[in-house]
Amino acid sequence: MIKVVTFGGGGGQSQILSALKEIEGVESCAVCTSSDSGGSTGKISRSYRKINGYLGDVSKCLCALSDDSELAGAMMQKFHGGILKGHSLKNIVFSNFVIKFGERKALEMLHKLLKVSPGNIVMPCSWERSILKVELEGGRILEGESYINSIARNPLWRPENNQITKVWLSPNVKMNPEISKKILDADYAIICPGDLYTSVIPSLLPEGIGEKLRESKARLIGIMNLMTKLGETDGCGIGDLAEILERYLNGKKFDYLLLNDGPIDEKLLDKYKVKEFKVKVLTENKNEINPGVRIIKGDYWMKNNEGYIRHDSRKIREALKRIMVKK
């Protein structure tokens, strides 16, 4: 059995979990950020104190691992009007479970409801409540995942003067103790794609995660983002992105980096540039951080049903199989 632990938020991580689920002999433990303050998760957690900022990410990853695709699709469905507008069925069900049974029992029940295979598990990186904070060049501090994620939409935003230089959780929370053994026992650890400072790195921040990763003998795989994101990875290349991630890995170095080299349709990119005028495809650059890293290129992207650019789970699956499955 090949044991894998993944880190990230809900969107990018769920695509990677969909790939891992289809590789025979792989068991996955997905570790999700717990400081989400935006969208449905933010609204629910502000209304119900018992509910933490992992609600949407954890449930999205569980849907990706579900053995009942029809049920998972229904649970992912969002309401488009009325008092439930913007909320998904999974968030409403999960919230009710947490209120009635407590966090740990609720998570167990959602695993069973979504028919997730016993070898697979999704966990928040911490059970403790915290707020995400970042520091910009010049010393300005922003807080709250949703605010940080939206600040670059301001027309006056100048990425060359407002780069994020530091990110942390306040208060400094401890890792979920239940993922410690999962990290130590893993054959592979995967850093999933996603918003760098508001989704991916937050899953690595709770006290203890970096130390366990360094202690673990797991081979480290980074699945690189397809494009840059305004306010977070402006002007980044693959070397820059990997170097930033390694700062939060407590000395752990990447063994493999998966990088898309498939040409992305310019018409699709133009849609993104309407919102993020400096968006570009993430490419290699000269910033070498680990001479021993193996860069595995491939045509890893697809256009989903909503017309967005996403990682293609089938192509990622084949790339991961070549790494993990020994012939």
CA dihedral in degrees (87, 89, 92, 96; nearest 10)?
Answer: 180
Ordered alpha helix ranges (H), the chain: 11-21, 39-47, 55-65, 69-76, 89-101, 103-113, 145-150, 180-185, 209-215, 238-247, 266-275, 313-324
Give me the pLDDT at residue 113, please: 96
Answer yes or no: is 197 within a domain: yes
- Domain residues for the domain of 12 are 6-324
Give me the pLDDT at residue 274, please: 61
**pTM for this prediction:** 0.93
Answer yes or no: is 248 within a domain: yes
CATH of the domain at 53: 3.40.50.10680
Q: Which of 54-68, 82-96, 141-155 has the lowest mean pLDDT?
A: 141-155
Answer yes or no: is 1 within a domain: no
Residue 86 has pLDDT above 80, yes or no: no
Give me the pLDDT at residue 160, please: 67
DSSP code for 300? -
Answer yes or no: is 187 within a domain: yes
Number of domains the chain is built from = 1
Give me the pLDDT at residue 219, please: 97
Please state, rounded to an integer, the average pLDDT across all residues of the chain: 88
Answer yes or no: is 229 within a domain: yes
